[in-house]
Amino acid sequence: MSARCIEKEMADVPECTVPLVVPGLTRDEREAERILTICNSCRYCEGFCAVFPAMTRRLDFVKHDIHYLANLCHNCGACLHACQYADPHEFKVNVPRTLAEVRKTTYVEYAWPSGFGRLYEKNALTVALALAGGLAGFLVLAVAMNGSLLHEPLQGDFYAIFPHNLLVAVFGIVFLFAILALGIGVARFWKTTAGTHGGRSAKSSPAALEATADVLTLTYLDGGHGEGCNESDNRFTLQRRYFHHFTFYGFLLCFAATSVATLYHYIFGWQAPYPYLSLPVILGTLGGIGLLIGPAGLFILNMKRHPDHGDASQKGMDRGFIVLLFLTSFTGLLLMAFRETQWMGLLLAVHLGVVMAFFLTMPYGKFAHGIFRSAALLKNSIEKRMPDSKGLGAD
């Protein structure tokens, strides 16, 4: 069979069907198996990221190996621009796109409840519907409870519009469901890919510390040489790493703001609204600014990204998530700025609608990539410390 036949657009031609090298693999997984086998012989890209050393610890690639390596890839693009076997070579090696296609398969396959994995496949529509539903729900609720979206200034008292216990109940249930769904999904992934590390945990081990550092610093978005990812062309840039950091730490600061406010409320009995110079407001404002800069930068990079880096069918999921993060922050900061005016009720309803859409789509959208990749990094840190049972040499 000609290597040209591996191309997706020719996959429906009978003589171009990709041979079933390893039973039980989907077409995307078979293509990944083909490419990983080529890379494992070539090994030119060994220094780029964790994927290549992890690949060389294997002689062949079964389904769970492919799922693990797909989630270990950070899609930096470096190995595509360096590859001597990329298109127009007849091997047509494209590691970032192939692993991106398999990654989506893993999100769908490990999702809980199982049928909900389909939401990944139509994620842009899922996000749009969740956003429309969230906005409509809170706008209608605001009118139903207060008679109007506009009101006399209420000194920033959100709970005069929506009672505190109502918000805790509604958001608590949705958030706990999202955490449960993500937790079960990643536990399924961990169990399935446990083969090489025997499912052992990394409690108190250097592996856990290393994986945590890799997650917190996004080690593998440096391209392996410290100069960063490829975006639209052969040039390296650290912009994606920086914008990821703005997004990630902005999110954590917003989460910290909510946690501190919860402690204030339940432990100290201090009720919102909190002054502009209080800890929850300072943390929330800084986090909100990070969540404006990060998603805006990632959106621009995504628009300019080289088309061969990724899976075009996932653009909607990527951009939907980025836009939702940006809107969460933007509406939150607007609410903070105008909380003492007659617009507070309207802005609060809009902000809560956006936050609800974010929570609803958390387990079935781009948010999951951070959770699955963290698990893959932990697995990588564990298995590289294990004895080399195949005699393939250490990292």
Residues that bind ligand SF4 (CB under 6 A): 38-39, 42-45, 48-49, 51, 73-79, 82-85, 93, 95-96, 220
Query: Which of 74, 379 has the CB closer to ligand SF4?
Result: 74
Query: Which of 77, 134 has the CB closer to ligand SF4?
Result: 77
DSSP states of 83-120 as a string?
Answer: -TTSTTSTT---HHHHHHHHHHHHHHHH-SSGGGGHHH
Query: Which of 39, 260 has the CB closer to ligand SF4?
Result: 39
From CA 75, how far away is CA 125, in angstroms rounded? Answer: 24
Burial 124-146, CB ≥16 within 10 A → b, else e: bebbbebbeebbebbbebbeeee
| 263 conformational bin, left if phi > 0, alpha if psi -120 to 50, beta if neither | alpha
Q: Measured from the CB of residue 68, what is the shortest distance to ligand SF4 in angstroms?
A: 12
Kind of pairing between the strands at 236-237 and 229-230: antiparallel
Q: Measured from the CB of residue 59, what is the shortest distance to ligand SF4 in angstroms?
A: 16
Return the closest-CA partner of residue 324 out of 292, 283, 347, 280: 292
Query: Which of 103, 339 has the CB closer to ligand SF4?
Result: 103
Cβ pair 133, 174 in contact under 8 A: no
Query: Which of 71, 285 has the CB closer to ligand SF4?
Result: 71
Cβ pair 383, 57 in contact under 8 A: yes
CA dihedral 231, 357, 375, 243 (to 10 degrees): 30
Q: Measured from the CB of residue 60, what is the shortest distance to ligand SF4 in angstroms?
A: 16
Q: Measured from the CB of residue 379, what is the shortest distance to ligand SF4 in angstroms?
A: 15
**DSSP designation for 270:** P
Query: Which of 22, 42 has the CB closer to ligand SF4?
Result: 42
